[in-house]
Amino acid sequence: MATSSGGGSGSGGGGTYSYRNGATHSHKSSSKLDTHTHKPLSLNSSSNSSSKNHVKSKSLGPSSTTQRRNSTTSKDHHPSVPGRVRVAVRLRPRNAEESVADADFADCVELQPELKRLKLRKNNWDADTYAFDEVLTEFASQKRVYEVVARPVVESVLDGYNGTIMAYGQTGTGKTYTLGRLGEEDTAARGIMVRSMEDILADVSLETDSVSVSYLQLYMESIQDLLDPANDNITIVEDPRTGDVSLPGASLVEIRDQQSFVELLRLGEVHRFAANTKLNTESSRSHAILMVHVRRSIKGRDAGHSSENGNHPHSVKSLKPPVVRKGKLVVVDLAGSERIDKSGSEGHTLEEAKSINLSLSALGKCINALAENSAHVPFRDSKLTRLLRDSFGGTARTSLVITIGPSPKHRGETASTIMFGQRAMKVENMVKLKEEFDYKSLARRLDVELDKLIMEHERQQKAFEDEIERMATEAQHRLSEAERNYIDLLEKEKSKYEKDYMDSIRKLEDQLDMCSSCRL
Ligand SMILES: Nc1ncnc2c1ncn2[C@@H]1O[C@H](COP(=O)(O)OP(=O)(O)O)[C@@H](O)[C@H]1O
Ligand SMILES: [Mg+2]
């Protein structure tokens, strides 16, 4: 399956940011239709000054400081862009039991998908109306749900943003059906996790990019590794500088093909079931969290950092680090939103019930605080909210699907789910490109170059020394030869003088002999 525009178009380093799924929408993000003014969903920076103000006054602890600093630093090529959390509501079809038991009752909700509205019946003659970003009826296919809820987030992750897709709702309303179905027996039933990975693998290039996943369960404030069940107390680490959270203790498995990903999900499910049996709980009491890390290398002109000057001399250019984009997709299948009975009727003690509820109620409190623009957002109150810090009021694109059932028996739970979705729609994120220089790979490249230079230097040094030695030897030879020649010459001169001397002596003796004989 190929994405039509994933990875390339839309956002990126060029400065124009358009949230593909949101830019053209102009419907309302109010709670009840009659009580609020509506706000466009555009992420285009020029079109959303009001939401900018809205976000600026929020206090989000260290991460908000970082965001504001990032968005105003002149060196930063990627300012944050406002992007509201998008919320879709999905209605599960009546199940067999509801079809029989409630056959004569009207459903407690009425959907108006073309108006993107939902009516929640108060009684036979009165209903409250709510607007959502998408209204998905009981007939909505898994494919359509993926396309409206998840695909824009997945495309953003491929472009280098963080993204969150989360399902919230009462147990039995279709959260796992929406997110986690593997669809092996019926491919049309594939859920968001499987379809997301298909789109990711179709868009990345495995020679230069990498995709790796962690799969976790959060239960009673402890994080278990669903890919390595022995690892059942994973700690959350926060980077004090950036506010980014990570789970260094969690298994991170590199994914190269769809089949191995599906097998990993299946394995995670088996481990989840085993862990829950051991803990004597149900999966509806725990949160399942899939994290997909997508790391992409950006070459040349595509990179936002490198766009402003292409005329570097060679030496400077070669010192330029490559650019990488690191998008993280977080898919969260939340625990059932129904409150666990605090009287312990389900076999839980009060303390257990409190602890099981803790993360979900903390999430509700954070969303309320963000929706109301509160000065304090209690992210630190639970592990779930610490993990989702970037997803709500942070730098990620976030899409929430709230799942509801049709039965009037659960009207109370349905109403509270709808209110949760309405508040989440008011949460504004400051979406930011996660692009950075890859200094490690530059350092590796420079190491190789340095090694080459050292080798070349040593080679030249050796050649120089050899040449000096050769010249010295040659000079030595020449000197010895000259000495030899000189000695020869001297010898010759000496014998010549000796001979001349002897000749002269001999001549003198002859003359002497002649003189003496004359005198006689
Ligand atoms: N949209 C849907 N169409 C058909 N069946 C659904 C749909 N949503 C949920 N179901 C069925 O309802 C039951 C409960 O769904 P599930 O996803 O397990 O709920 P949750 O995860 O919210 O507890 C399952 O049997 C599931 O197959
Ligand atoms: Mg479930």
Phi (first) and psi of residue 128, to 5 degrees: -95, 140
Q: What is the pLDDT of residue 322?
A: 81
Atom of ligand 1 nearest to the CA of 171: 23
Place of tokens 């030496």: 315
Q: How far apart are CA 423 and CA 366, in angstroms?
A: 10
Question: Given a cut of 50, is residue 171 above it in pLDDT?
Answer: yes
- 478-505 pLDDT, tens digit each: 999 999 999 999 999 999 999 999 999 9
Q: Which ligand is nearest to the CA of 169?
A: 1
Residues 6+ apart with CB under 8 A from 76: 70
Tell me the pLDDT band of 299, cut-offs 50, 70 and 90: confident
Average pLDDT of the residues in 49-55: 34
- 61-89 pLDDT, tens digit each: 333 333 333 333 334 456 777 789 999 99
Distance from Cα 130 to the centre of ligand 1, integer Å:
23
Q: Looking at 311-349, list the stretches that DSSP marks H as alpha helix, in order from N- to C-terminal side.
A: 314-318
β-bridge pairing 86-91 and 134-136: parallel
Q: How far apart are CA 178 and CA 142, in angstroms?
A: 7
Share of the chain above pLDDT 70, in %: 79
Average pLDDT of the residues in 109-126: 92
Phi (first) and psi of residue 450, to 5 degrees: -65, -45
Q: What is the pLDDT of residue 406?
A: 92
Distance from Cα 266 to the centre of ligand 2, integer Å:
14
Residues 6+ apart with CB under 8 A from 447: none
Mutation probe of ligand 1 site: the residue of 92, 168, 181 with most atoms within 8 A of C-beta: 92
Average pLDDT of the residues in 430-459: 86
Atom of ligand 1 nearest to the CA of 140: 1
Q: What is the pLDDT of residue 218?
A: 95
Mutation probe of ligand 1 site: the residue of 177, 283, 287 with most atoms within 8 A of C-beta: 177
Return the HEC string of 244-302. CEECCCCCCEECCCHHHHHHHHHHHHHHHHHHHHHCCCCHHHCEEEEEEEEEEEECHHH
> Ligand 1, atom 14: nearest CA belongs to which residue?
172
Nearest to 418 by CA among 138, 176, 135, 102: 135
Q: How far apart are CA 19 and CA 23, in angstroms?
A: 6
Tell me the pLDDT band of 447, cut-offs 50, 70 and 90: confident
Instruction: Extract the runs of DSSP E, i.e. beta strands, from 161-209.
Output: 163-169
Amino acid at 128: D
Q: How far apart are CA 51 and CA 249, in angstroms?
A: 37
Q: How far is CA 463 from the centre of its chain?
A: 50
Furthest-apart CA pair in the chain: how many Å?
A: 184
Q: How far apart are CA 252 and CA 438, in angstroms?
A: 20
Tell me the pLDDT band of 251, cut-offs 50, 70 and 90: very high
Share of the chain above pLDDT 90, in %: 60
Lowest mean pLDDT among 19-23, 169-173, 338-342, 503-507: 19-23
Lowest mean pLDDT among 238-247, 362-371, 452-461: 238-247
Average pLDDT of the residues in 315-330: 80
Distance from Cα 333 to the centre of ligand 2, integer Å:
7
Q: Which ligand is nearest to the CA of 94?
A: 1
Q: How far is CA 234 from the centre of its chain?
A: 20
Amino acid at 61: G
Instruction: Extract the runs of DSSP E, i.e. beta strands, from 312-405.
Output: 323-333, 397-404
Q: What is the pLDDT of residue 21?
A: 34
Distance from Cα 332 to the centre of ligand 2, integer Å:
11
How many residues are given for the chain? 520
Residues with CB under 6 A from ligand 1: 92-93, 95, 169, 171-177, 284, 336, 403
Q: What is the pLDDT of residue 356?
A: 77
Q: Looking at 388-438, list the stretches that DSSP marks H as alpha helix, in order from N- to C-terminal side.
A: 411-424
Q: What is the pLDDT of residue 261?
A: 98
> Ligand 1, atom 13: nearest CA belongs to which residue?
172
Q: How far apart are CA 200 and CA 507, in angstroms?
A: 119
Atom of ligand 1 nearest to the CA of 169: 22
Residues 6+ apart with CB under 8 A from 302: 12, 13
Q: What is the pLDDT of residue 11?
A: 34
Question: Given a cut of 90, is residue 342 above it in pLDDT?
Answer: no
**pLDDT higher at 304 or 301:** 304
- 218-248 pLDDT, tens digit each: 999 999 999 999 999 999 999 888 778 999 9
Q: What is the pLDDT of residue 517?
A: 86
pTM recorded for the entire structure: 0.73
Q: What is the pLDDT of residue 317?
A: 54
Tell me the pLDDT band of 37, cut-offs 50, 70 and 90: very low
H or E segment to which residue 121 belongs: strand 117-121
Q: Which ligand is nearest to the CA of 174?
A: 1
Q: How far apart are CA 385 and CA 255, in angstroms?
A: 27
Give how far Cα 172 sits from Cα of 53, 239, 337, 476, Å: 39, 37, 10, 99
Tell me the pLDDT band of 252, cut-offs 50, 70 and 90: very high
Atom of ligand 1 nearest to the CA of 178: 17
Tell me the pLDDT band of 16, cut-offs 50, 70 and 90: very low
**pLDDT higher at 448 or 138:** 138
Amino acid at 107: D
**70, two tokens:** 């990032």
> Ligand 1, atom 15: nearest CA belongs to which residue?
174
Lowest mean pLDDT among 42-46, 336-340, 504-508: 42-46
Helix (H, G, I), strand (E, B) or coil at 127: strand
H or E segment to which residue 480 belongs: helix 439-519
β-bridge pairing 210-219 and 222-225: antiparallel
Nearest to 156 by CA among 144, 164, 167, 148: 164
Average pLDDT of the residues in 87-116: 87
Q: Looking at 425-438, list the stretches that DSSP marks H as alpha helix, in order from N- to C-terminal side.
A: none
Give how far Cα 247 sits from Cα of 166, 298, 379, Å: 19, 26, 17
Distance from Cα 285 to the centre of ligand 2, integer Å:
9
Distance from Cα 290 to the centre of ligand 2, integer Å:
14
Distance from Cα 176 to the centre of ligand 1, integer Å:
7
Atom of ligand 1 nearest to the CA of 180: 17
Q: How far apart are CA 270 and CA 227, in angstroms?
A: 10
Q: What is the pLDDT of residue 40?
A: 31
Phi (first) and psi of residue 269, to 5 degrees: -65, -45
